[in-house]
């Protein structure tokens, strides 16, 4: 499994994820992948997977000032 991001300028990044993802593993992925490319005007999109919505990750996102798109389903088909 990989985590990926595409920015409005078309820049992209992929990070290999641990086999079983938990909140601590997801935080590590975000530190490696998101934080180096995140800018204050960006909006980050997660789905509602449990490791994305845990209190641990919500606290991490808040501390880092990450603006999060809300109301995105975990099974989105867009």
2-69: CATH architecture:
2-Layer Sandwich (3.30)
Per-residue pLDDT in tens (0 to 9) along the chain, 78 residues: 899 999 888 989 999 998 899 999 999 999 999 999 999 999 998 887 889 889 999 999 999 999 988 766 655 555
The answer to whether 51 and 78 are in contact (CB under 8 A) is no
C-alpha pair distances (Å), 38 with each of 3, 5, 30:
15, 10, 10
Model-level pTM?
0.82
Q: Domain ranges in the chain?
A: 2-69
């Amino acid at each position: 499994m990989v985590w990926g991001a595409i920015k409005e300028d078309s820049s992209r990044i992929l990070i290999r994820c641990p086999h079983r993802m938990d909140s601590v593993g997801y935080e590590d992925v975000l530190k490696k992948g998101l934080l180096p490319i995140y800018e204050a005007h960006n909006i980050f999109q997660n789905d509602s997977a449990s490791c994305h919505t845990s209190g641990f990750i919500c606290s991490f996102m808040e501390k880092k000032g990450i603006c999060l798109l809300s109301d995105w389903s975990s099974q989105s088909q867009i």
